[in-house]
Amino acid sequence: MVGDAGERQFRQLTTPRSAAVAGILFALLFATSLVLLRTALPADPRVEPTWVGRSESRISAALVLAPFAGIAFLWFIGVVRDRFGELEDRFFSTVFIGSGLLFLACVFVSMAVAGGVLAVGRHSSIPQDGIVHFGREVMLQINNVYAVRMAGVFMISLGTIWLRTGLMPRWLAVTTYVLALTLLLVVSLSLWVTLVFPAWVLVISVYILVVRRQEFHQSG
């Protein structure tokens, strides 16, 4: 047994080339979830007190997609960090990973509140208007104030790393800064603003896929 253990061969784990697809999946799933929620929410819920019941299917679909979008986002973080390699800086990487996880936590809490609003809206026997309105506002605050800001910090930390290391084209890093500042400075409770982030993730993921395919063909 000792001899077998001594002769055991270990292999170093490597990131799958297809892992960058996770970013594309996140962008599609998260954007779809946001669109479903946005189209389900009325401009003024007090004018349409029965909006929860009429939008139940869309809210339920958004809640189903959100966890899978979160899983794909974790893979996206891993793919981006893998490209740092030995150039990784602990300070910026800490901000990058921390803001990404906080963004994901805010999204999950926001979706959980949406699920609570849906559950309350199903019970017409209790005085629900005030509770539903409160839940809607909490969901929007968490998503459009806290999650959006964390997404902006996530993008700024990545843009800084890319500028200093040259891992990404300069135009892509500068574009990241501009979009990040938009998310940080624009104060809005519209869910459409949040779509900036999945659109950016989609562009980054497609670029990484193209670059990795070129690197694979050159090494082959």
Distance CA 132, CA 166 (A): 48
Q: Residue 132 is encoded by which pair of tokens?
A: 């539903």
For residue 23, pLDDT over 60 is answered with yes
Please give the tally of structural domains in the chain. 1
Q: Does 119 reside within a domain?
A: yes
Q: What is the largest CA-CA distance in the chain?
A: 76
Q: Does 5 reside within a domain?
A: no
Torsion of CA 84, 69, 24, 28, to 10 degrees: -150
Q: How confident is the model over 180-189, as pLDDT tens digits?
A: 998 888 766 5
Q: Does 7 reside within a domain?
A: no
Q: Does 2 reside within a domain?
A: no
Q: Does 167 reside within a domain?
A: yes
Burial of 37 (0-12, 13-18, 19+ CB in 10 A): buried
Q: How confident is the model over 26-82, as pLDDT tens digits?
A: 999 999 998 988 887 766 655 555 566 667 788 889 999 999 999 999 999 988 888
Q: Does 6 reside within a domain?
A: no
Q: Does 38 reside within a domain?
A: yes
Q: How confident is the model over 147-183, as pLDDT tens digits?
A: 999 999 999 999 999 888 888 889 999 999 999 998 8
Q: Does 9 reside within a domain?
A: no
Distances (CA, A) of 36 to 2, 30, 32, 62: 58, 10, 6, 6
Domain that holds residue 184: 19-42+50-219
Left if phi > 0, otherwise alpha if psi is -120 to 50, otherwise beta: which for 123?
A: beta
